[in-house]
Structure formats: structure tokens, C-alpha cells
Structure 1
Amino acid sequence: MKYRDLNPSTRTIMTPGPVEAEPRVLRAMAAPILGQFDPEFTTLMNETMEMIRELFRTKNRWAFPVDGTSRAGIEAVLASIVEPGDRVLIPIYGRFGHLLSEIAERYGAEVHNIETSWGTVFQPEAILRAIDRVKPKIVAVVHGETSTGCMQPLKEIGEACRERDILFVVDAVASIGGADVRVDEWKIDAAIGGTQKCLSVPAGMAPITFNSRVEALLLERKKIERGLVDPGSPKSAHARAIRTNYFDLSQLMDYWGPARLNHHTEATSMLYALREGLRIVLEEGLENRIDRHRLHEKALVHGIGAMGLDIYGNPACKLPVVTCIAIPEGIDGESVRAMLLNDFDIEIASSFGPLKGKIWRIGTMGYSCRKKNVLHVLAALEAVLLRHGASLQAGRAVQAALDIYHAQA
């Protein structure tokens, strides 16, 4: 045969995504296919919506997955609420703030950025000052920035946006299911998650939620698209038809709502996967899950420090599910990553932009976030660095991590 049987290697994946899929999720993906309007399948859809609400800690009516990777969810939200000429404020403290800006610009937004050094986040006051200066229709923020391992506090920003009648959109792709995300309490109008990170589901769906403020805008734009609003009316001057079809949230509302109007063919096996992943998250309990991620982060950080390596970034704003490590001077970071992969079947990540070649990123996310993996990556990283001639506190990393685990026992 020209092509051999599919037999991917078994890896210990310690990147900021994708991570190792939960075995129960993979089993769910092998379940028999149902038609997308089969009552049994629409029941699964409704259950998935209920679980997404619990995941985001919201009472929003609308909570469903967009078919596609996390970026599909981000684009669906921005494409559906951004109208040409809208002012959109996007604070940038890493790679994915630039992504939000690029998508908003593609849909005609007048994007305003403020930036801070990578490895830090914004004080809420800095964003509030920019809000009052720019007077945007939308503020869009990345919650957990995997490129820098930092997490932006959101509560004060959400309160300020609500007071000023500004829509607050949050990219929670990296944080949902591993760190605290509170959509209603933080007054987030629309939030986007990802499956391939802390939910331990393969990439391919993006759970989102949005509230009645967003819904009102979507319905107004839908009327214009269908010619139900006089083009010369005052309302039409403030809203225009949604330009995308696949990512049109107003059409997806018809699909996921009681009308069940056909929009696309649902990704059946991916829905099974997401439903099972969400069920596992809620079975563990959100608080227990957050505590588990913090425990393994603490063990990893103590091990890295005991080895003699430096953690990159301000520890006060560290993203608990991603740890960034400064590459020691004189060490070829890509050679280290290659040896980890080839000799230990462990994958860790490099970074982007100004941090490329300067840091490694280790994710402790979802199913990958467990004691065996943390001890394995610490022992392997130490061995590889010694082979590369690095000066280390040999033998201390695993012991430091064990100290954390045994103290919790």
C-alpha cells in the first residue's frame, strides 16, 4: 500500500494548546452518527447549551458552539457586532490582541490600540482612561494571553463598559475551564472559549455566549439584511447588514433556537466531543478544577525555580495554565525542544514575535495538567539541558515539585 495505517505517536503534550484529549472525549467521538434534526440529537444540542452556560457562569439565553476552531468563535462574534466605522478599543499585551485587531479591521472597524510590554498586563485605570478618550462602541480584550503567559483582570473593565453602554467582548479561549471566568459577574457581553486547551477536546469548536444587549444589535442588523427597515430611517443609519454568512450569529440563533432553521450541517462527532468534555468539567466542579490547575502550576513553577531557571513575566499577573521560562543564555531553545520531542516524546512550545527564541512555554491545561506530566517534563527538561551544557541545580527540580505535591496530600 502507498499509505500506511494511521498510527500517530503518543506524546506528552505540554504546550498551551492543543493538549492531550481526555480519553472519554475520544471515545465519545466514536459514537454513531445521528441526523442533525433527529430529536435525540437536538436534545444533545440543548444539553450542550446548558453546560456552556454553567461553564461561563452565565444565565444568558444564548450559549452554543461555533463550528470551527477558537478563531472561528472570535470571528463570529466580531463579524456579527462590528459595523463599518465602529470604534473598537483593543488593549494589546501579546500576540492575540493583534489577532482581535486584525479581525475587527477586516469587518470595517476603526480600531484603536493601547499597548504594554509583553510579560505584563494593563492596570484597569489605563484601559478606563483609553475608553474615555476613544469612546468606543466595543472593547475587546484577551483574558489569558498564551504568548506571554499573562492574564488580564476584567472585572473593573466590565463594570466601566456597562456604565458607559459599551459592549465588552472577551477572548477566554485559554482560560475557560482552567481559570476563573465569570461572564455575568464581570459584565461581559460576549465571551469566546476554545476546546483544545483546558477543556481537553480536539480543536474544532468554539463555545461562545452573549447576552441580550448583543442579541438586540443582532436582531436589528437582521431586520436590515431582510429589508424590514427603511434604509432612510434613523435606525438603519446605526446598523448595517451582517457581511458574513457562516459566522452570522443571528442565523446561528435560528439554528440553535427552537426554530431549528437549517444553517449548516452540524459537526456531529465534534458535538459529542464537546458535550462529553463539558460533562467531565462540570463533574469535576469548576472550583475543584481551578484548584487542580493551580496545584500543578505551583509544582511546575517550584521545580523550574529549583532547577535554576527563571520564570518570564510579572508573577502578579501570571496565567495559571501557562508557564513561560526564560531560555538560558547560550542555549539553543529549538534544539532543546527537538530533543524533548525525539528522546522523551514531550512537546513544549516556543513563542511569537519579540519573544521568539527567548522563552519556552509549558502548558498545564485540562487532561495534560496532571502530576505524572509535570514530573516527567521537569525530569526531561533537566536531562536535556544538562546534555546542552547548561549550568543547573541538578536533581532539585523533581524534588521541589514533590514537596508541593506531598504538602497537599
Structure 2
Amino acid sequence: MKNSVNFPPLNPPRRLLMGPGPINVDPRVLQAMSHQLVGQYDPVMTGYMNQTMALYRELYKTKNQWTLLIDGTSRAGIEAIFMSVIKPNDKVLVPVFGRFGLLLCEIAKRCRAEVHKIEVPWGEVFEPEQIEKAIKEIKPRMLLTVQGDTSTTMLQPLADLGEICKRHGVLFYTDATASFGGNPLETDAWHLDAVSTGLQKCLGGPPGSSPITLSDAIVEQINHRKHIEEGILADHHEQGQEEMVYSNYFDLGMIMDYWGAERLNHHTEATSMLFAAYECGRLLLEEGIDNSIKRHKLHGDAVLAGIEAMGLKPFGDLKNRMNNVLGIHIPDGIDGEEVRSLLLNDFSIEIGSSFGPLKGKIWRIGTMGYNARKDCVCETLTALESVLNRVGFKTTQGAAFDAAMQVYQ
């Protein structure tokens, strides 16, 4: 029987992805993903798994044994940690300064945690004293933070929070999806108990794998809830089986058994994504994590200079912005979606809008991973300047490019 519908081959258009992510994948990562598969217990494959763990220990600046990949997008890493650690009625504290803090609240609620949130206006971040005050009042089991929230483009300082958590006996987690590789993050020095990230931002890869790292303290908590038989949790008699939240796929106890020396079957590792994560990590280590952070800051500063030279106003507290994403107020009388559409259709450049209270109020330009380059920055600024002049926001032609070049010089 002849098909009535024509399914043409995939042929995505050429795009320069200069929004908050995902970004254009480094060609070397695409090449790594094209390698043929090997069996999941082939010594070559298990060797790659061990090397990937070692790579990400270096990048996370940690000695944590359990530094591994969760198959799935960045959210898979978050859910694996929450589902494996949080018990019903556990108190958790979430400092919310953007959309992704709210996401952490939602996921924790699905784990039946008692969620306490503190908030600052979008565009600001928390002082350590604010978080310590809440910890003293709430006495949470875990502090759940976002390091870099792309919805606001702000970077929450974390360096002082680990000592606070340690002093009060609180487990300390951060979601570093948007920040890792382009901003400082020191797992051991900052006393972080768990960190998760993704490949599609500063690491220059595709979404689909979430590198995580786990401290000994949090592994002890995970092992307490480890499955013993037929999917029954070891502590079900304490909690009441009907009250517990179970996940097979996101059970870190079982996943650690798969990644560890025993190689107990849990899932079939997403081999092509492991190849991608390995190459992302290898390239970042080759460049040097500190050099990568400097590169992201350089190109982020160039975008900021170009935006200000156009007469546009950056969003939020610039002292605490991420190196790799900049928020920009949409000028009065300008249709932000029209500008984004013209950039996409006429120049094949994508920039972002935002969520919630910032919807329709700011644009977001990302310079991260493979796109943290001078040519990408200059192409984007020049195209944005052209579009703005076309829609009635007059700029001095060439001013943005000149300002960016001053930063580079």
C-alpha cells in the first residue's frame, strides 16, 4: 500500500542559536556522537564510563567517587537526586529568584517534601545572611538552589552557603545547568553535597545527558533508601509503603550499582549521549575550566558593551549576572516578538524571550559553549541593530560592533 503522506529526510535550517540554550553543538561533539555503538558491558564501554566519571570529577573540582551521568535532559539529573534523597515530609528550603527555583519547588513537592521558599524580586539574588536566617527558622533537611537562572540571567553566589549548611546540618544541592563551564563552581571547596547540570549550555553539547556529582554524605542517605527486593524500599517500614515516592528509572542506588564495579543491570546506557558527554568534558578540560570561564566572561562583556552602545538597557543586578546570558529590557513601543521573528527569518539568529513576570519585557542573549566566539557576538549585535532600526528604534549604525571590538581589543 502506497503511503499517502510524504516524509522527507530531516534537513533542519541553519540557525545561530544565541538564546539561553540550547546552543549550536560543537562539531567535535557531533563527530563523537556519530561513532558506532559497543555493547554496554564491553570493556571498552565500561572504560569510557570510568573515564567520563574521572573527567567530570576534574570539571566539578571534586574527589566524589559518584560523579556520573543520568540519561535524560538536565531535569533528569534534578529528579534523580530529589527522588533518591527526599522522603515524604522532609523540610526543604528553596531560595527562588527566577523560574527554575520554582521548578525545584515543584519537583520537591512531587517527592512529597514540605517545601519552604523564600523569594527576591526577579533580577536580584540572595545574600548569605538571608538564607542562613531562613535555615535557622525552618531547620530544613536540604537547601535546594539554582546557581544560574536563565529566566532572569542572574547568578546566585554559592561560596558561603556550604559552610552555613554544614554548620546547621543541612544537605546542600545546586542546579548548575545554565552556569557550569562558564562561571566558577567548586564542589568540594564550597561543601556542595550534590550538583547536576546538562550539556546544552556552556558545555557545547546537545540536551540528553545530565552529569551529576554526589558527596559521601548524600550517598549515605541514598544507600539508606536502597532497593532490597522487588522494588520495595529498605525503609518502607518506617515511612509506610503507601506514602513513599518510588522511581525505578531515577533510583540513584541502582544507578550507582550500574556505574560501579559490580555493573548490575539497571538500564542500557545511552551510548551516543555518553560519547557526547565525554567529548564535552574532554574539550572543556583541554581548554582548561578557568580559561573557559574567562572566555565566557569576555564574550558576555562584549555583548553587554554592544547592547549599551545601542541605547538598550540591560536587565537586573549586573554585579550578579551570569557570564553567559544577558537580559535586555525591550524598549517601550517595540514589539519584542516581532524583533525576534525578524532576526530568525532574515538572519537565522535566535535570541530568547522570558517567562512569568518577565514575559514580553526582556530579551535574553546567550554566549555559551561553541557560540562563545567573537564572530557569533558580532554577527548577532549587527543583526539586532539592523532589525531595531527597521522597527523604529534608532541606533548609531555600527556603534554596537565598535563597542564590542573595544572589549576584544
In structure 2, the residue matched to 1:44 is: 48
Distance 1:283 1:229 in 2: 43
Distance 1:96 1:386 in 2: 34
Following TM superposition, by how much is the alpha carbon of 1:228 offset from its aligned partner in structure 2, in angstroms? 9.0
In structure 2, the residue matched to 1:261 is: 264
In structure 2, the residue matched to 1:218 is: 222
Tell me the amino acid that sits aligned with residue 367 of structure 2.
Answer: T
Distance 1:282 1:207 in 2: 15
In structure 2, the residue matched to 1:9 is: 13
Distance 2:224 2:81 in 1: 15
Which moves more between the two structures, 169-178 or 238-247? 238-247
Whether 1:365 aligns to 2:374 is no
- Secondary structure in 2 aligned to 1:155? coil
In structure 2, the residue matched to 1:135 is: 139
1:55-93, Cα deviation, whole Å (9 max, x unpaired): 111000100010000000001001111000000000100
1:201-240 matched pairs, under 5 angstroms? 201-222=205-226, 236=238
1:159–1:22 distance in 2 versus 1, CA, 3 Å: same
1:111-190 matched pairs, under 5 angstroms? 111-190=115-194
- Secondary structure in 2 aligned to 1:206? strand
CA contact (8 A) 1:97 1:142 kept: yes
Following TM superposition, by how much is the alpha carbon of 1:5 offset from its aligned partner in structure 2, in angstroms? 1.8
1:1-400 matched pairs, under 5 angstroms? 2-222=6-226, 236=238, 243-400=246-403
Following TM superposition, by how much is the alpha carbon of 1:304 offset from its aligned partner in structure 2, in angstroms? 0.6
Tell me the amino acid that sits aligned with residue 92 of structure 2.
Answer: V
RMSD across aligned C-alpha pairs, in angstroms? 1.7
- Secondary structure in 2 aligned to 1:305? helix
When the two structures are aligned, how many residues end up with a matched partner?
A: 403
Runs of 5+ unmatched residues, structure 2: none
1:133–1:404 distance in 2 versus 1, CA, 3 Å: same
1:229–1:342 distance in 2 versus 1, CA, 3 Å: closer
Distance 1:345 1:312 in 2: 24
Sequence identity, in percent? 52
1:199–1:227 distance in 2 versus 1, CA, 3 Å: closer
Distance 1:251 1:366 in 2: 32
CA contact (8 A) 2:227 2:253 kept: no
1:47–1:114 distance in 2 versus 1, CA, 3 Å: same
CA contact (8 A) 1:57 1:182 kept: yes
Tell me the amino acid that sits aligned with residue 139 of structure 1.
Answer: L
- Secondary structure in 2 aligned to 1:168? strand
1:302-345, Cα deviation, whole Å (9 max, x unpaired): 11111110000011111111000000100000000000000001
1:254-283, Cα deviation, whole Å (9 max, x unpaired): 000001011011111111111011100000
Following TM superposition, by how much is the alpha carbon of 1:227 offset from its aligned partner in structure 2, in angstroms? 6.8
Distance 1:394 1:370 in 2: 22
CA contact (8 A) 1:91 1:140 kept: yes
Following TM superposition, by how much is the alpha carbon of 1:29 offset from its aligned partner in structure 2, in angstroms? 0.8
Distance 2:30 2:188 in 1: 32
Distance 1:273 1:113 in 2: 35
Following TM superposition, by how much is the alpha carbon of 1:177 offset from its aligned partner in structure 2, in angstroms? 1.1
- Secondary structure in 1 aligned to 2:353? coil
- Secondary structure in 2 aligned to 1:208? strand
Tell me the amino acid that sits aligned with residue 250 of structure 1.
Answer: G
1:231-272, Cα deviation, whole Å (9 max, x unpaired): 76xxx4699966111001101000000010110111111111
CA contact (8 A) 1:222 1:241 kept: no
CA contact (8 A) 2:225 2:233 kept: no
Tell me the amino acid that sits aligned with residue 373 of structure 2.
Answer: R
Distance 1:228 1:335 in 2: 53
Distance 2:270 2:106 in 1: 27
- Secondary structure in 1 aligned to 2:56? helix
Following TM superposition, by how much is the alpha carbon of 1:163 offset from its aligned partner in structure 2, in angstroms? 1.2
Distance 2:162 2:205 in 1: 29
Distance 1:167 1:73 in 2: 17
Following TM superposition, by how much is the alpha carbon of 1:391 offset from its aligned partner in structure 2, in angstroms? 2.6
Distance 1:286 1:205 in 2: 20
- Secondary structure in 1 aligned to 2:314? coil
- Secondary structure in 2 aligned to 1:51? helix
CA contact (8 A) 2:111 2:245 kept: no
1:308–1:261 distance in 2 versus 1, CA, 3 Å: same
CA contact (8 A) 1:80 1:242 kept: no
